[in-house]
Each structure stands twice: as C-alpha cells, then as structure tokens.
Chain A
Amino acid sequence: MSLKELVEDKITGEPEEMERRKKIWENIFNAYEQGGINAIVSYLREEADDILEKFEIPQKQLEKKL
C-alpha cells in the first residue's frame, strides 16, 4: 500500500466526517506530491483564509453594533 492509502486507512470519524477528512487528506497529499511542504501550507491556509474572509463580514458588522 502507498503512503496515501496507509494514512487514509487510519482516518477515523462518522461516515460523513470520514469522507470529508479523506478528501482533505487527498488534497494535502496531492499538494505535497506537487509542491512539497510549502504546497501543503498554501493549501491549508487557503482553506482557512476562505473561512476567515467570510468571518470578516460579520466581524465588522458586530464591531459596529457595539
């Protein structure tokens, strides 16, 4: 078995949760294959930034309310 499959087999969680985690793992692994450590950092930061950008909207609105 390849490294990718070995890790995939160890991923836990409820079915839906596990599916999502396997998808993230696949993306992490593909990023590593294509661009090494930095590509993993970029991929995960992009995921986080996507949430953070959306977060900024209510954040600013709520700050104004105070």
Chain B
Amino acid sequence: MIVLKNLKIKGFRAYTDEQEFTFESPIVLLFGENHKGKSSTLNAIEWCLFGSRNCTGGDTGIRERINWEIPNRTLVNQDVWVELELTDEKYQNYKILRRWIRRNRDEVQVTLPNGQVLEGQEAEKELSYLIKSSFRDFLTTVYQHQEVIRSILVQEPRQRNDAIDRLLGLSDYRNILKGINEANLENALKNMNDFRNELDSKLKTAKNIREYDLKDKKERAFQRGIHQNEINQKSLIEIAKNIKEELEGVANEWGLSLDDSLKIPEHWSESSQFQELVNKEITKFRSEMPDIKEQERLNQYRLSLSGLKIEYEQLEKKLKQLKNEKEKFIKEIGDEEAINKIKDNIQKQIEEKNKELSEADAKASVISKAMEYLKLEGIDKDICPVCGKRTPDLLAHLEKEWREKYEKKVGEIKKQIDDLKTQLNDVERLEQNYKKLREDIENVEKEIKETSNKIGEILGETITTQDDPIVVLNKKLAEIQKELQILEKAVSTKQENLNEIASKVEKVQLIGDILNLEEKRAELEQIEQLPEYKQMEELIDKMSILCNDVKDIEQAIKETMREEAQNKIEKAEEVIDSYFRRITNNPLISKVRFLANEDRRTGGNLYEFRDQDGKDLLSVLSQGDLNALALAIFLGMATSESMNQSFGFIMLDDPSQSLGSQHKANLVEVLNKVLEKRMVILSTMDEELQSLINSQITKRKTKYLFSDWTPEKGPEVKKE
C-alpha cells in the first residue's frame, strides 16, 4: 500500500509560500476555520497524484471543479508545484513532483528509489503503475469530498442517487450516459421521421387535390361539348390546326396579317402558349376589323353633324329671339329716327330752360348786390343804389321780394332742367339698347352664315341661302344611321365567328389542362418509387440503426454500472452496515441493507436502504443520519478488505457537516477502527470534533493548525 511521508506545496490554490507537511503519525489533523487553506492541502495531494487533466472540470462530478484555478491568484511568477514523498508496499521511497505549466497543462517528475529521475510520459507511466488506481477509485476510497456528503443530505432522490453513484466510483458511467443523452440522436431521428410523415401526408393531400382538379376540369370540358375520346394530344392538335386555318381565313378576308409566332402545338404542354397567342390575335382582329373601323368613322361623322345641327338650331333660335325683341322695341318706343326726334325735343327744352334761368339769375344778382350794399355802415338805407329812388324800409322790402320771387323761381327752373336731363339720359340709354340689339342680330346672322358654310364643307356641298341646312343635315344623318345598322349586323356576325374561334381555343386549353393534371397525378403516384424517396428511407433506417445501436450501448452501460454498484455494495455492505449503526447508534436499526436497483424511469441506479425488517430507511433518516450514511458508505468502501485498496491512507474533508454531538462521538469511535487499517488525514473546523479526536483517538496524532490566511502570504500553518 502507498503510504504518505511528506508533502511540500508552493503556489497551489490557497498557498503562496512553500509549506511542508510530514505524515509520521497514523492520523494527521488539519484544524482551523473555513477558508484557511485546509482543503487546498488535501487538493494538493490529489492534484500531485492525478494532475489537472483528471482533477478539473465538470466530468469530476464535483461542481466546484468547473473552472477550478490551480495557481494562487496573487502569484506574480506563478511558480506552482506540489511534491509528495511516499513509499510503496515494499517500503521503497518515491518522490513525485508536479509542476503547473499553464491551464490544463502540468508536468510530472518521478524520482525512483534508486535516485533515477523520470520525466514526461515515462514519469506519468511510472506514477500510474505505482498508484494502480484510477482517479474515480481515489475519489471513492481515498478522498471524501465535502460536496458528496452535501449531495447525500438533499432530499431529492435523483441527486442523492447521483451522489451515491459518485461515492461508489461510478462517475465515468454517469458522464458517458450524460454525453450520449446530450447528443440527442433520438431528436434527429424524430425530425427525419416527421419529415417523412409530413411528406406522405402532403403527397396524399396533393393526390386528392389533383383528383379534384381533374374532375372539375373534365366536368367543364364535357359542358363545353368535349367528348372523353377527344381528351388526347391528337385531338388537341387537330383542333389547334382548325383554329389556325380559320384565323388565316379571317385575316385574308379582312386584309389583316396573322402573327408568325402562332404555331400549332406539337405537345399538349404548349397549349397554354397557343391559347395566349390566339387570344392575342382575336383581340387584335376585333379592334382592327375593317367594319369596326368604318363604324367608328361613321359614328365620329354622325357626331360632328349632330353637333353642327345643334349649333345651327341654337343660333336660329337666338336670332328669332333677338328679332322679336327688336320688333317689340320699335312697337313700344319706336325706331332709331323716332328716338332721335324725342332726343332733339328734350335738348331744345333744356336750352329754353337754361335761357330762362339765366334771365332770372341776372335780376336776382342785381337785387342781391343791392342788399349787400345796403347792409354796409354809413349808407342811407332808404335810397336805392340802382335807381336812386328813396323808398322807406328799402332793405326789408328788397329782402322780401328776393325771397318770394327769385329764390323760388330759380329753384323751379333748375329742377325742370334736371328732370329734362334725366329724360335725355333715359332716351340715350334706349338708343344704346337699340344699337346693341341691332349689332347682336347682325352678329348672329354672321354666325349662322359661318355655320352654314361649315355644314356645307362637312357634307361636301354648297349650302346657299336658299337651302335649309337643318333639313339637309337630317337627311344626311338618316343615311348614316342606315349605314351604321348595316355595319352593326356585319360586325355582329364577324364577332360571332371570332367568339367561336375563342371557344375552340378554350377547348384546346381545357384538353391541355386535363392532360397536364393527368401527368402530374401520375408523377405523384410515382414519387414513392423514386430513387430520392428510397434514399430517404434508407437514411432514416440508417439513423434508426444508429439510435438502436446507441440505445443498446446505453443499456450495456447501465447494466454494467448497476452490476459494479451491486458488486461494490456486496463487498462493502457488512462494513457499511457496521459503520452506519456505530455512528447513528439507533436502537431501532439492527441491520442496514444497501441495495442497488434499476431506476425504471431513467434506467440509472436506484439505491435503497432498508432495515432488518425490509422497511425503507431513507424516508425516516435525519440529516445527521444521512451524513452518517454518506460517511459509512465512504469509510466502508475505503476500508473493506475485499476492495483491493492501493492507498494506505484516507482523506476526510469536513466529515461532520450535519452530525450531532452523539454522532460525532460515534464517528470518532469508528475512526479508531479505521485507523487500525489506514492512515487518516482529516480536515475540520468543528471544535467539538477536534476535542473528541484529541481525547478519544488512541493513536498518535500530528496536528497542523491553520490560521491568519492572507492573500499575499497564504495560510499560517503551525505544527503541534
């Protein structure tokens, strides 16, 4: 068995400076508070023996090992190494030195008993030969990790089963099963099968749709008078030939040309193109038909004539209206000569009144000036300044005469003149109206003449003043109407011909569509026989075989894992039973049976713990009991005679996490038993456990006290 002698650590995890440990006693104790470097010491032994490749990463089954950092974070030079001195079963000394190079890369050096130093692959090989154990065996039988006990303590059965798997050293099985499960091959197979099912479903739907379309087209074809025996390529080509001949006939008759690209189809698949071109030609013929052109021309001509007729009739109506107005004017007021006479008469009256006003104004002016004179100062008011005659109270007398006689008269004359001027204006306005009426009549007569000339021009004949243009126009319009009726009949007949051709083209298209649908239906029916379909099925089979192969392998792994579990349990069951009952000391439990069965849900291992009566224990165990169970399994596996251990020591990291005082005392009792077979390296912060170990462990002890850890210096370790 391998026995530890000495350990040196430099720069590893919690350590910065070099630290040395000796293992000269049967039990080596690492005492101290949490985070002082105790676990790093145990980790250093593990790392030195198995290296970064084994100790780091999730595959270890230890969660904290994911992104696990080897070098101390504060180190500048990163000089990181661990050196172990140990002896083999022949008590020969070996020195193992592992040095950290970079992440996931370290180098090992083995110094043999004869002093020879091995390096690289040679050193790894020698080390492997020396320790004879795998990393998973080491975790099962040598190193009890804190996390395993914590996992056992959880109540969730799956996690607990996982933890017991790890305790039994079955992590590799679990990891391989996890990898197979994560590859999810079944999903790939499911996707392939889904595609095939969807394809088959689409195929069925497509067949139904084709069938429905075919039935619909055939019904339409029969309604169009196509017989079943005409639904073939030969008939389609015959009808197409006939159509082309008819179109050529129409083109010749109407002086039109047929598009050169119009070819008789050689295969039914050309029927759509043929239909398109024929319809284009029919549309062209409809618009370019000579009768249609003539119809258009005559309609345009009729429209022009009708326009002129309306224009001429409106002008005549307007002229008649103007003449009536003129006649009424003359009748009521008179003609231009009569108006002039009235105007002259009013002007004469105005002249006379102006004269009368002038005279009255002269006398009034003299009297007015005399009154102004008499109003002056120092003037004899009774002597007339005009005639010199003395008249008493002359000014008053003059004022009365001016007021009564001249002021009234002048006002009257002025009013008469204004009235006469108003009359004159009215007459002049009438004169203007008369002139306007006369001009309007002249203009309308001119327009009538011009319109008449236009009618003559459009009819191509001369319209004299002796002719009635309206009658001439009506006669011409009646002729045009007759011509249009004849044309309409002709056009209708020709359109009918073209409609018949169009109907035949539709037949060609219907036959083409039916032949196309029949071919597509046949294609669908052939899909399952296609090489692509067969290739698809072959590949699905291939994937199915791969899935089945992997399933069989999974089954083999699970069976092997269960057998290995059962085998290990069988070998260590007695010791586990003994340790568990010693630690728990429960009077109700006289026997613990540890069973590994198949978990029918996952196919993994399902562990059961039953008492002497076969009753389930897990459901009644306390946290302390579960902690004891984890320790019992570990210690049982580690110390069972039949497990062929190559290591002469075990490492316990914080074993009393959930143990009560009595459990702890019992554990120390068990440790005394274990110490008979193995050296124990125990790390704990539990003062009660420390005290119990100090007082109850009968073997010699080496104690290392961990305190005052600082990032720069690492832990302060004192040996006692």
Contact of A3 among B173, B179, B530 (CB under 8 A): B173
Contact of B549 among A9, A24, A40, A52 (CB under 8 A): A24
**CB under 8 Å from chain B, chain A span 1-45:** 3, 6-13, 17, 20-21, 24-25, 28-29, 31-32, 36-41, 43-45
Q: Is B203 an interface residue (CB 8 A)?
A: yes
Q: Could you mark each residue 30-66 of chain A with 1 if its beta carbon is under 8 Å from any beta carbon of chain B, else 0?
A: 0110001111110111011001101101110111011
Q: Is B192 an interface residue (CB 8 A)?
A: yes
Q: How far is the CA of A48 from the CA of B183 in the complex (A)?
A: 9
Give A63 Cβ to nearest chain B Cβ, in Å. Answer: 8
Contact of A51 among B206, B546, B553 (CB under 8 A): B546
Given A32-B172, A55-B536, A48 and B185 contact (CB-CB distance below 8 Å): yes
Q: Is B552 an interface residue (CB 8 A)?
A: yes
Give B46 Cβ to nearest chain A Cβ, in Å. Answer: 18
A37 touches B550 (CB 8 A): no
Give A45 Cβ to nearest chain B Cβ, in Å. Answer: 5
A7 touches B550 (CB 8 A): no
**CB under 8 Å from chain A, chain B span 23-70:** 57-59
Give B331 Cβ to nearest chain A Cβ, in Å. Answer: 98
Q: Is the interface of B mostly helix, strand, loop or mixed?
A: helix
Q: Is B180 an interface residue (CB 8 A)?
A: yes
Please indicate the chain B residues that have their CB under 8 angstroms from the CB of A48 in the complex.
Answer: 183, 185, 188, 543, 546
Give B519 Cβ to nearest chain A Cβ, in Å. Answer: 13
B183 touches A29 (CB 8 A): no
B552 touches A12 (CB 8 A): yes
Across the interface, name the chain B residue whose C-beta is closest to A13: B552
Please indicate the chain B residues that have their CB under 8 angstroms from the CB of A10 in the complex.
Answer: 555-557, 559-560
Contact of A66 among B199, B546, B564 (CB under 8 A): B199
Q: How far is the CA of A10 from the CA of B536 in the complex (A)?
A: 32
Please indicate the chain B residues that have their CB under 8 angstroms from the CB of A9 in the complex.
Answer: 560
Across the interface, name the chain B residue whose C-beta is closest to A53: B539
B556 touches A11 (CB 8 A): yes
A40 touches B539 (CB 8 A): no
Please indicate the chain B residues that have their CB under 8 angstroms from the CB of A43 in the complex.
Answer: 183
Q: Is B542 an interface residue (CB 8 A)?
A: yes
Q: Tally chain B residues at the interface, Cβ within 8 Å.
A: 44
Q: Is B342 an interface residue (CB 8 A)?
A: no
**CB under 8 Å from chain A, chain B span 572-606:** none
Please indicate the chain B residues that have their CB under 8 angstroms from the CB of A47 in the complex.
Answer: 185, 546
B560 touches A3 (CB 8 A): yes
**CB under 8 Å from chain A, chain B span 536-575:** 536, 539-540, 542-543, 546, 549-550, 552-553, 555-557, 559-560, 563-564
B59 touches A44 (CB 8 A): no
Contact of B58 among A3, A20, A37, A51 (CB under 8 A): A37
Please indicate the chain B residues that have their CB under 8 angstroms from the CB of A21 in the complex.
Answer: 549, 552-553
A62 touches B533 (CB 8 A): yes
Across the interface, name the chain A residue whose C-beta is closest to B173: A3
Given A6-B560, A7-B556, A32-B175, A20 and B183 contact (CB-CB distance below 8 Å): no
Give A7 Cβ to nearest chain B Cβ, in Å. Answer: 5
Please indicate the chain A residues that have their CB under 8 angstroms from the CB of B183 in the complex.
Answer: 40-41, 43-45, 48
Q: How far is the CA of A43 from the CA of B556 in the complex (A)?
A: 19
Q: How far is the CA of A36 from the CA of B180 in the complex (A)?
A: 11
Q: Is B369 an interface residue (CB 8 A)?
A: no
Q: How far is the CA of A61 from the CA of B424 in the complex (A)?
A: 108
Contact of A7 among B195, B524, B530, B557 (CB under 8 A): B557
Q: Is B719 an interface residue (CB 8 A)?
A: no
B195 touches A59 (CB 8 A): yes
Q: How far is the CA of A5 from the CA of B178 in the complex (A)?
A: 19
Q: Is B532 an interface residue (CB 8 A)?
A: yes
Across the interface, name the chain B residue whose C-beta is closest to A24: B549
Given A36-B59, A41-B183, A62-B532, A6 and B564 contact (CB-CB distance below 8 Å): yes
Q: How far is the CA of A65 from the CA of B192 in the complex (A)?
A: 18
Given A6-B560, A12-B556, A36-B59, A28 and B549 contact (CB-CB distance below 8 Å): no
Q: How far is the CA of A60 from the CA of B533 in the complex (A)?
A: 11
**CB under 8 Å from chain A, chain B span 493-546:** 523-524, 527, 530, 532-533, 535-536, 539-540, 542-543, 546
Contact of B176 among A32, A51, A52, A55 (CB under 8 A): A32
Across the interface, name the chain A residue whose C-beta is closest to B175: A37
A55 touches B539 (CB 8 A): yes
B179 touches A37 (CB 8 A): yes
A37 touches B195 (CB 8 A): no
Given A21-B549, A48-B546, A58-B539, A37 and B59 contact (CB-CB distance below 8 Å): yes
Give B669 Cβ to nearest chain A Cβ, in Å. Answer: 36
Q: How far is the CA of A21 from the CA of B551 in the complex (A)?
A: 10
A36 touches B527 (CB 8 A): no
B195 touches A40 (CB 8 A): no
B179 touches A28 (CB 8 A): yes
Q: How far is the CA of A32 from the CA of B175 in the complex (A)?
A: 8
Give A52 Cβ to nearest chain B Cβ, in Å. Answer: 6
Please indicate the chain A residues that have their CB under 8 angstroms from the CB of B180 in the complex.
Answer: 28, 40, 44
B192 touches A38 (CB 8 A): no
Give A39 Cβ to nearest chain B Cβ, in Å. Answer: 8
A51 touches B542 (CB 8 A): yes
Q: Could you mark each residue 678-701 of chain B with 1 if its beta carbon is under 8 Å from any beta carbon of chain A, else 0?
A: 000000000000000000000000
A55 touches B527 (CB 8 A): no
A58 touches B532 (CB 8 A): yes
B175 touches A36 (CB 8 A): yes
Given A51-B543, A52-B188, A59 and B553 contact (CB-CB distance below 8 Å): no
Across the interface, name the chain B residue whose C-beta is closest to A39: B179
Give B550 Cβ to nearest chain A Cβ, in Å. Answer: 7
Q: How far is the CA of A9 from the CA of B57 in the complex (A)?
A: 29
Across the interface, name the chain B residue whose C-beta is closest to A54: B539
Across the interface, name the chain A residue whose C-beta is closest to B170: A3
Please indicate the chain A residues that have their CB under 8 angstroms from the CB of B57 in the complex.
Answer: 36
Which A-B residue pairs are the 5 nearest by beta carbons?
Answer: A40-B179, A44-B183, A10-B556, A58-B532, A37-B179
Chain B interfacial positions (CB closer than 8 Å to A): 57-59, 172-173, 175-176, 178-180, 182-183, 185, 188, 192, 195, 199, 202-203, 206, 523-524, 527, 530, 532-533, 535-536, 539-540, 542-543, 546, 549-550, 552-553, 555-557, 559-560, 563-564
8 contacts between A and B (CB under 8 A): A7-B557, A9-B560, A10-B555, A11-B553, A12-B555, A37-B58, A44-B550, A61-B532
List 19 additional A-B contacts (Cβ < 8 Å) besides A8-B556, A13-B549, A20-B549.
Answer: A3-B172, A3-B560, A6-B560, A7-B553, A9-B560, A10-B556, A10-B560, A12-B556, A24-B553, A32-B179, A44-B185, A44-B550, A47-B546, A48-B188, A52-B192, A55-B192, A57-B532, A59-B536, A61-B532
Chain A interfacial positions (CB closer than 8 Å to B): 3, 6-13, 17, 20-21, 24-25, 28-29, 31-32, 36-41, 43-45, 47-48, 51-52, 54-55, 57-59, 61-63, 65-66
